[in-house]
Chain A
Amino acid sequence: MDTIGSLLHGFAVALTPGNLLAVLLGTFLGTVIGVLPGLGPTASIALLLPVTIGMDMVPALIMLAGIYYGAMYGGSTTSILVNIPGEAASVVTCIDGYQMARQGRAGPALGISAFGSFIGGTVSVVAVMLISPFLAEAALKFGAPEMFALLFFAFTCIGGLTGRSRARGLLMACVGLLLGSIGTDDIQGVDRFVFGTLYLRDGIGLVPLAMGLFGLGEILYNIEQREDTGSVLETPKNLLPTLKDWKDSAWPMVRGSLLGFGIGILPGGMPAVASLVSYALEKRVAKHPEEFGKGAIEGVAGPETANNAATAGGFVPLLTLGIPTNSVLALMLAALMLHGVTPGPLLLLKWPDVFWGVIASMYIGNVMLLVLNLPMIGLFVQILKVPYGILSPLIIMFVLLGAYALNNSVTDVFVTILFGVAGYLMKRYNLEPAPLVLAFVLGPMLENNLSKALIMSRTGSPLFFFSRPISATLLTLAILVLAYPLVWWCWQWAADRRKAQASA
């Protein structure tokens, strides 16, 4: 079956009234839930999964995909307007997006975010369509050493996020790694840093941690500050980005789409990782990197495009190999299996309706989200325009509610508050929370793959990683990224000593 013919068949499936309704409902619900701080795509999908069991297979999957997309879109909105990430992938958008909002440029930020997401998603869907048939083969070559190398490379890019002090940022990242290692170890089953509690056996949840650090932390900081913050939220006037905005965002969006898709299709590629790497990349290639963190539109355009591209890209390993690359896709895998579908290389052959129908509806979903989001931003802003004095307690309530809703556990609420205090302290003393959160997410995967790779190597020698072409390339890149500042640091240190000796 040629690709175009299959895609047309997919559209025929997707454009039936029932399936169209499924897309619409899914994207709308997803966006609304994504806007609410505290409930991310995983929660939304988990909640709506039982509902879809009653539905037919194709509409069910289509609706779930719509929710996923919508939640990603919605998460960006709260990141920009209120500096609270709706979910992990929007964390990076908070950095520059919120600053833009504070400068009265929320409109262009939201606009570029919506367009960027649309472009990223669309490019990806086209790419998925073209690549899927070939990709099953190549991805089989990605073993643990390659995964480790990729993740390590992403980790070194975290260094680019650290603003003022690299060592501080890397230290925060180490704390994140440490926090990520709490819990029962995957391979050996040993309880690490659990202090005898049942709760910690599962490790610290990302959502309480992120909501606490970013959401609560910011609010507590604002409460403590003497001046009244006033209403940070004015109605974004121009939702349309200016020509200059478009010009500045064009390349970031192109890079974001390619990067996002590339990361999304790899096992372990999460939209959060894509947005992080995109941010680091944009910062490195920018003409004015010092603008980042203060409202650089490239810092919104790139990551937003990348995370949507990665979202779409994540469907490739799911549908072609049966490998979910994050928890949302894991739930979708469960949904597929409940409907009797076994994802894998045979999916294309046995259930072409499912495969091409989902692809086509993703494209439709992208269009719908663009159409929905731009006019509805006004609605969201009206909601958020309520005075900050009222908004602040409400957001606190949402955050705590969201924390509780995860597992019906007051302990999650407690953890969120704990990290809220930590977030406040970090803000107070100029420590960056982003590297911590991102290392927290990457850590377990890094460790897992490292352990597996070391066992594979049979010698435990690091040279093993360089004996394989893909991991060798990635590791070399990572080492270059790390080495450059180290060399610079040593040089600076020597220069300082020379100066000190000269003036002595």
Chain B
Amino acid sequence: MTVDRVLGVGAVFLAIPVAAASWGFGVGSPKSPGAGFWPLLIALTMAGLGISLIVRPGHAQPSDAAPGSRWGRFGIALGTLAFYVVALEPLGYLLATTVLLLVQLRWVENRSWRSSAWTAVLTALISFVLFRVLLKIPLPSGVIPLPRGW
């Protein structure tokens, strides 16, 4: 199954619930289109394109990626991203960012403990000063108590 065929099938499968939902929004008529008119058009086009991909898939493209890759590092990187979303507000910008950077520098990019630690802390601090203090963009302070006006 080439990627195109998978895409085509996916497109058709996506088009069905979208079309159904569009119907639910009220399609109206061409002279008075409802909220579902446009999504319905999209769904129909997607289905059409999906079918054309199934019927006549393009040549299989070798992807640029080498098979067998750095899944470990990739997984850790994704993990840090998930962590950040969850921890940003409770822990605050400074702490969450420091952890994010530290883990990435040390385990994804394989840098030394010292270099990672320094870079992480300095970057978090400098960016904090730059964005929150100078540009006045509110960043969560989380668990670290900050002087008033910061």
Interface residues of A (CB under 8 A from B): 47, 164-165, 167-168, 170-171, 174-175, 177-178, 181, 185, 187-188, 190, 192-193, 216, 220-221, 223-227, 389-390, 392-394, 396-398, 400-401, 404-405, 408, 410, 413-414, 417, 420-421, 428-431, 447, 450-451, 454-455, 457-461, 489, 493
Q: Which of B101-150 contact A (CB under 8 A)?
A: 101, 104-105, 108-111, 119, 123, 127, 131, 135-139
- Complex CA distance for A309 and B146, rounded to whole angstroms: 45
B81 contacts across to A, CB distance below 8 A: 216, 396, 400, 417, 420
Q: Contacts A224-B70, A224-B71, A430-B3; is A457 near B31 (CB within 8 Å)?
A: yes
A389 contacts across to B, CB distance below 8 A: 105, 109-111
B34 contacts across to A, CB distance below 8 A: 188, 190
A457 contacts across to B, CB distance below 8 A: 31
Q: Is B13 an interface residue (CB 8 A)?
A: no
Provide the B2-17 mask, 1 if CB < 8 A to any CB of A, else 0. 0110010001000000
Given contacts A429-B63, A430-B64, 13 further A-B contacts (CB under 8 A): A47-B137, A185-B25, A188-B26, A216-B81, A220-B74, A223-B108, A226-B70, A390-B111, A393-B109, A447-B38, A455-B31, A457-B31, A459-B30
Are B65's CB and A174's CB within 8 A? Answer: no
A168 contacts across to B, CB distance below 8 A: 4, 7, 53, 58
- Complex CA distance for A417 and B77, rounded to whole angstroms: 11
B31 contacts across to A, CB distance below 8 A: 454-455, 457-460
- Complex CA distance for A164 and B81, rounded to whole angstroms: 32
- Complex CA distance for A392 and B107, rounded to whole angstroms: 13
B7 contacts across to A, CB distance below 8 A: 168, 171, 431
Q: Contacts A171-B7, A397-B100; is A410 near B109 (CB within 8 Å)?
A: no
Which 7 pairs, one residue from A and one from B, show the smallest C-beta to C-beta distance? A460-B30, A460-B31, A190-B35, A393-B104, A389-B109, A224-B74, A185-B35
- Complex CA distance for A47 and B136, rounded to whole angstroms: 8
A109 to chain B, nearest CB (A): 21
**Closest B-chain residue to A227, C-beta based?**
B66
Interface pairs (28), CB distance under 8 Å:
A165-B58, A168-B53, A171-B46, A174-B45, A174-B46, A178-B42, A192-B25, A192-B35, A192-B39, A221-B65, A226-B66, A389-B110, A390-B119, A392-B109, A396-B81, A401-B97, A405-B139, A408-B138, A410-B85, A414-B85, A428-B65, A429-B3, A430-B61, A430-B64, A450-B33, A454-B31, A455-B32, A460-B33
Q: Contacts A410-B89, A428-B63, A451-B38; is A223 near B52 (CB within 8 Å)?
A: no
A417 contacts across to B, CB distance below 8 A: 81-82, 85
B26 to chain A, nearest CB (A): 7
**Closest A-chain residue to B137, C-beta based?**
A405
A460 contacts across to B, CB distance below 8 A: 29-33
Are B30's CB and A454's CB within 8 A? Answer: yes
A455 contacts across to B, CB distance below 8 A: 31-33
A193 contacts across to B, CB distance below 8 A: 21, 39
B4 contacts across to A, CB distance below 8 A: 165, 167-168
A447 contacts across to B, CB distance below 8 A: 38
For B, the interface residue count at a CB cutoff of 8 angstroms equals: 65
Describe A's contact surface by its main secondary structure.
helix
**Closest B-chain residue to A429, C-beta based?**
B3
Q: Is B23 an interface residue (CB 8 A)?
A: no
- Complex CA distance for A413 and B109, rounded to whole angstroms: 22
**Closest B-chain residue to A190, C-beta based?**
B35
Are A224's CB and B58's CB within 8 A? Answer: no
Of A167, A181, A226, the residue contacting B68 (CB under 8 A) is A226
Are A224's CB and B69's CB within 8 A? Answer: yes
**Closest A-chain residue to B39, C-beta based?**
A181
- Complex CA distance for A181 and B37, rounded to whole angstroms: 11
- Complex CA distance for A177 and B64, rounded to whole angstroms: 27
Are B131's CB and A401's CB within 8 A? Answer: yes
Are A493's CB and B56's CB within 8 A? Answer: yes
Of A192, A397, A451, the residue contacting B127 (CB under 8 A) is A397
- Complex CA distance for A170 and B4, rounded to whole angstroms: 13
A461 contacts across to B, CB distance below 8 A: 30
- Complex CA distance for A246 and B117, rounded to whole angstroms: 46
Q: Interface centre among B58, B70, B77, B82, by most A CB within 10 Å?
A: B77
A253 to chain B, nearest CB (A): 31
Are A225's CB and B46's CB within 8 A? Answer: no
**Closest A-chain residue to B38, C-beta based?**
A447
- Complex CA distance for A457 and B29, rounded to whole angstroms: 12
A404 contacts across to B, CB distance below 8 A: 88, 139
Are A224's CB and B97's CB within 8 A? Answer: no
- Complex CA distance for A5 and B74, rounded to whole angstroms: 63
A400 contacts across to B, CB distance below 8 A: 81, 84, 100
Are A226's CB and B30's CB within 8 A? Answer: no
A192 contacts across to B, CB distance below 8 A: 21, 25, 35-36, 39
Q: Which of B44-63 contact A (CB under 8 A)?
A: 45-46, 49-50, 52-53, 56, 58, 61, 63
B100 contacts across to A, CB distance below 8 A: 393, 396-397, 400
A414 contacts across to B, CB distance below 8 A: 85
Q: Contacts A168-B7, A393-B108, A454-B30; is A181 near B77 (CB within 8 Å)?
A: no
